[in-house]
Amino acid sequence: MKSEPNVFSIDDLKNRPHQTEPWDGVRNYQARNFMKDQMKVGHEVLFYHSNCAPPGIAGVMTVVKEAYPDESQFDKVSNYFDPKSTRESPRWFNVDVKFVRKTKLLSLPELREHKKLEQMKILQKGSRLSITPITPAEWRYIQSLI
């Protein structure tokens, strides 16, 4: 899961009450579907800092609440307001995540150096999704690096 550290960082998550936060504001259908359909309580997730120098994996968090409607879609003053979304038929969802640990920053260039990671969706040319799945083998390999 990606976030710009000047918007919400691994340190922000660590400093939240109970070190827990809703992962809201996702407005891409494919990213939403990954979160809504695949993320379950107990799943561990990599926290990736994006749009910074250097971008990369900065920590680990865990899913503590499965997908539920993102309230910001109903808030007319929110940047994430969606006039086509209704409470009866919400379009956007979030999950709650909890801080597990910070890691040494594993930068995007460093990730690209590892042949075992070359198929990771985040490393594919043009990949801009804020949420992308990784395989169990990729997870284990990244754990050995961080």
Q: Residue 60: what residue type?
A: V
pTM exceeding the 0.75 threshold for the entire prediction: yes
Q: Can you list the domains of the chain with their CATH numbers?
A: 2-145 (3.10.590.10)
pLDDT along the chain (146 residues), means of 10: 94 96 93 94 96 93 97 95 96 97 94 92 82 93 93
Q: Residue 136: what residue type?
A: P
Q: Is the Cβ–Cβ distance between 105 and 58 less than 8 Å?
A: yes
Q: How far apart are CA 46 and CA 62, in angstroms?
A: 9
Give residue-wise pLDDT tens across range 95-108.
999 999 999 999 98
Question: What was the pLDDT predicted at 60?
Answer: 97
DSSP three-state, residue 133? coil
Question: What was the pLDDT predicted at 127?
Answer: 76
Q: How far apart are CA 13 and CA 139, in angstroms?
A: 21
Closest CA to 42 of 95, 4, 109: 95
Report residue 118 CA to chain centroid gap.
20
19 CB-side CA count, 13 A: 13
Q: How far apart are CA 68 and CA 13, in angstroms?
A: 19
Question: What was the pLDDT predicted at 130?
Answer: 87
Helices (H) and strands (E) in the chain, counts: 4, 5
Place of tokens 């990949």: 127
